[in-house]
């Protein structure tokens, strides 16, 4: 059974607290194996139960929401898909906390970014490649205005394009965990 990388959206922010130990235990109780979490922002590498549940994403959202006590959207990637994300990086000279990837469950509508004047956010920039939105933020995420504008554009898109963001260090660590 293939390892899956499960990216949780909006956990451990505000009142939406979720213990990674409780998450691991809940997923193992539901039949997942080789469950590993990475940092508190909701990153899990696991093998789904055998047989693999139909609608794995929805099944995982249900299991995780039961553990958390609130709704937790998830985005799935296989290890190979994450390796593709790394290989397609349009900002090869950026890394660490200057490069972020927003992972979407589905490819956003092609016109999602059409209403944005991306030049107004320079030196910050972005590139949407399939289900991944790369953000190059030379000054880091903390003061950048581009991520806020992108979030608003994603909410306005039809259907809404809501993803979950990870910095490049986390992306690389998840690739390594999925390869182990």
- Count of beta carbons in the 10 Å neighbourhood of residue 4: 22
Residue 176 host element (H or E): helix 168-179
What fold, for 4-79?
Alpha-Beta Plaits (3.30.70)
Measured N-to-C along each axis, helices 168-179 and 79-87 cross at an angle, to the nearest 10 degrees, of 140
- Neighbour order of strands in the sheet with 74-78: 33-38, 43-47, 4-8, 74-78
Distance, in Å, from the CA atom of 72 to the CA atom of 85, rounded to the nearest integer, reads: 23
Q: Residue range 37-44: average pLDDT?
A: 89
Read off the pLDDT band of 1 (50, 70, 90). low
Tell me 96's DSSP state. Answer: T
Please check whether residue 117 is in contact with residue 125, taking contact to mean a CB–CB distance below 8 angstroms. no
The pLDDT of residue 95 is 80
pLDDT tens column, 96-142: 889 999 999 999 988 888 889 999 999 999 999 999 999 999 998 98
Which residue, among 1, 48, 39, 4, has the nearest Cα to 20 in the 3D structure? 39
**pLDDT surpassing 70 at residue 19:** yes
From residue 107, how far is each of 20, 75, 172, 179 by CA, in Å? 28, 12, 22, 25
The residues near 172 (Cβ < 8 Å, ≥ 6 apart) are: 86
Tell me 109's DSSP state. Answer: P
pTM of the model: 0.93
Read off the pLDDT band of 13 (50, 70, 90). confident
**pLDDT surpassing 90 at residue 180:** no
- Count of beta carbons in the 10 Å neighbourhood of residue 173: 16
Tell me 108's DSSP state. Answer: P
pLDDT tens column, 72-85: 999 999 999 999 99
Read off the pLDDT band of 35 (50, 70, 90). very high
Minimum mean pLDDT range among 42-51, 98-107, 126-135, 152-161: 152-161
115 Cα distance to chain centroid: 24
Q: Which residue has the higher pLDDT, 133 or 180?
A: 133
Please check whether residue 49 is in contact with residue 32, taking contact to mean a CB–CB distance below 8 angstroms. yes
């Amino acid at each position: 059974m293939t390892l899956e990388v499960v990216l949780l959206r909006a956990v451990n922010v505000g009142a939406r607290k979720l213990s990674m130990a409780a998450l691991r235990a809940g997923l193992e109780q539901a039949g997942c194996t080789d469950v590993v979490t990475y940092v508190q922002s909701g990153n899990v590498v696991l093998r789904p139960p055998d047989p693999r549940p139909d609608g794995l994403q929805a099944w995982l959202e249900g299991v995780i929401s039961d553990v958390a006590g609130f709704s937790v959207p998830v985005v799935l990637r296989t290890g190979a898909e994450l390796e593709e994300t790394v290989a397609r990086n349009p900002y090869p000279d950026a890394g660490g906390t200057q490069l972020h990837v927003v992972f979407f469950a589905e490819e956003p509508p092609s016109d999602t970014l059409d209403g944005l004047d991306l030049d107004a956010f320079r030196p910050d920039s972005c590139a949407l490649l399939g289900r991944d939105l790369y953000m190059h933020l030379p000054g880091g995420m903390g003061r950048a205005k581009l991520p806020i504008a992108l979030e608003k554009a994603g909410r306005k898109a039809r259907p809404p394009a809501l993803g979950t963001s990870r910095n490049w260090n986390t992306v690389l660590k998840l690739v390594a965990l999925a390869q182990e």
